[in-house]
Structure 1
């Protein structure tokens, strides 16, 4: 009876309204993409993204103790099994720091789990499985680096990226298989070959563009110490103006990894049936944004300077938002658009574009 009373105390309209309104505050890119996904698929992806963002906000807190993070992440996982724990979760939050919108999301974890409980049983199972794997991986790294993440090797970096992003590729692909008739078992099997790279490529680009932010605001350094030492620098000197050349050389291995993963992500998109157009629309914008950002990263050192980062221009974002959904209907157009973005900023209408 208590559980029923708790469920009835949460207005489902309030739940949907909050989740839809908080999304663009915590991720503008995915807020654009998720709108292409219909009905229960869109609701499942929305819920999955917000659950991952809650876990990520707890893990990234720059001041919380290891014990606090582990306790909160354990409690977060218990929310999947017990609605009463989910409803009480906001009261268990204490002294977290971070971006205001992300903290607001954590403070309304109960509403996100109310959305979770409204999903199909299969979608709930998918989200529970992959978010649990993500959180357990986060806990492993929180334990390993109690004073803040300091990645040692490229192999360790790839392990970290699997937990925080690769699993998202699997989560999404499982949801495609459940909700899209066009994704049959054969297509599902093909997509699973590159789905981790889809998530990991986007993650590496985000890490590269925000090297300074992560070091200064989240006390996390993901550039492997091994790579920095090989080029005469260290994680302590990551933002040192006197070591800018060495640090730029040290991130080359991550840049190369990002290019490889983005190309696998492109294979992933191209493998989605053209009849599953909402999924193609969902995937294409984050992918071309990442290609454009990585293109600029290769020519910049801004992310290695205190307070700096790399972003593609608003004009390019607008151009890609306009052209990306059109290109999504054709593999040929997708390849053409990716090739254009790799070479130079894509500014539609500023000059003639060679379509073939």
Structure 2
């Protein structure tokens, strides 16, 4: 029941030191397996330096307490206020950003100052979570646990499920676009945070999801497919973005490209123009390296060639040399 769930969430951090922990009957698939084999995770946790354990336990405690606040809230029609939506994103993703920043510093990979970038860390995590929530509208609605705030969607229609109605597409897209712009508010913080990261591996670890997120936002904006399925970045594009998420100039270039993609679709209002302007200013156009997006085509072709080679090998087909075609 909900009371048991709340208690488990609030006290889960206390179980991190139980190296025999096994929890049954909760979740499905991999989630259930993880809880059943929690002892493996806890033994790994016990092998970490003490200061790392303290950071993880602290974040787990805060996250559990925060998630417990939403257990008895009816989420069938989303959160009521945008502030509640922000709070949820903080608990489930912003705190992850805070914890990672503290671990980067505690490990010595980054300077102590990175661990103190609490606000920026939280904003980074919240940005990723908001992109996921926007993208997963249909899946979440069907499962009865939506997060789109009523404060936004009730401006456009009477029921969150009506977004799926083709007859209401114009209003649905207006709501979707407002959600996208709410997420775009975080980009200046993301740029500032990434600009303070110096270790190459830490930078890639942080930058790659952010680049994927802004690319996803560009696909989500004004896209009616959000209400009928899942909109995703193509695999070839994802591979290209990963390859180019290695330095700040390259990341700035990718962000600039996708912000401009959104900008090209926007019917400008003063408020939206201000959001885009702040995002582009934070990217620093004078310090970016614009990607050659045509490279995505070559990545896609190599992926196709690899797939064909696999199928040919599996089925025993033999192709003539390419020169035979000329």
Does the pair score TM above 0.5? yes
Whose RCO is larger (CA < 8 A, sep 6+)? Answer: 1
Greater C-alpha Rg: 2
Q: Distance in 2 between matches of 1:164 and 1:288?
A: 20
Name the structure 2 match of 1:162: 90
| Aligned with 2:189 (options 256, 259, 264) | 264
1:177–1:271 CA distance, 2 compared to 1 (3 A): same
Where does 1:57-76 land on structure 2 (aligned, <5 Å)?
Answer: 65-74=1-10, 76=12
Q: Distance in 2 between matches of 1:171 and 1:122?
A: 12
Name the structure 2 match of 1:249: 174
1:74–1:153 CA distance, 2 compared to 1 (3 A): closer
1:181–1:231 CA distance, 2 compared to 1 (3 A): closer
1:74–1:89 CA distance, 2 compared to 1 (3 A): farther
Runs (5+) with no aligned partner, structure 1: 1-64, 352-356
Q: Distance in 2 between matches of 1:182 and 1:73?
A: 31
1:350–1:342 CA distance, 2 compared to 1 (3 A): farther
Q: CA-to-partner distance for each residue in 1:237-283, whole Å, 9 max, x for gaps?
A: 3433333332322233321121121332122111213xx11210111
Query: 2:11–2:64: 8 Å Cα contact kept in structure 1?
Result: no
Q: CA-to-partner distance for each residue in 1:120-173, whole Å, 9 max, x for gaps?
A: 11010000101111111100011333x757311111111111111111111011
Name the structure 2 match of 1:42: none
Query: 2:140–2:146: 8 Å Cα contact kept in structure 1?
Result: yes
Q: CA-to-partner distance for each residue in 1:21-72, whole Å, 9 max, x for gaps?
A: xxxxxxxxxxxxxxxxxxxxxxxxxxxxxxxxxxxxxxxxxxxx42342244
Runs (5+) with no aligned partner, structure 2: 262-291, 299-326
Secondary structure at the aligned position of 1:152 is classed as: coil
Name the structure 1 match of 2:215: 292
Pair 1:152 & 2:80 matched: yes
1:340–1:228 CA distance, 2 compared to 1 (3 A): closer
Q: Distance in 2 between matches of 1:66 and 1:242?
A: 38
Q: Distance in 2 between matches of 1:184 and 1:78?
A: 27
Secondary structure at the aligned position of 1:312 is classed as: coil
Name the structure 2 match of 1:108: 37
Name the structure 2 match of 1:322: 243
Q: Distance in 1 between matches of 2:294 and 2:20?
A: 47
Offset at 1:117? 1.1
Q: Distance in 2 between matches of 1:346 and 1:313?
A: 13
Pair 1:283 & 2:200 matched: no
Q: Distance in 1 between matches of 2:27 and 2:59?
A: 25
Name the structure 2 match of 1:197: 123
Q: Distance in 2 between matches of 1:314 and 1:148?
A: 32
Query: 2:219–2:231: 8 Å Cα contact kept in structure 1?
Result: yes
Query: 1:202–1:262: 8 Å Cα contact kept in structure 2?
Result: no
| Moved beyond 6 Å, runs of 4+ | none
Question: Matched residue pairs, number?
Answer: 268
Name the structure 2 match of 1:337: 254
Q: Distance in 1 between matches of 2:154 and 2:99?
A: 36
Offset at 1:234? 1.9
RMSD: 2.4
Secondary structure at the aligned position of 2:297 is classed as: coil
Query: 1:228–1:246: 8 Å Cα contact kept in structure 2?
Result: no
Secondary structure at the aligned position of 1:87 is classed as: coil
Offset at 1:75? 5.2
TM-score (norm 2): 0.75
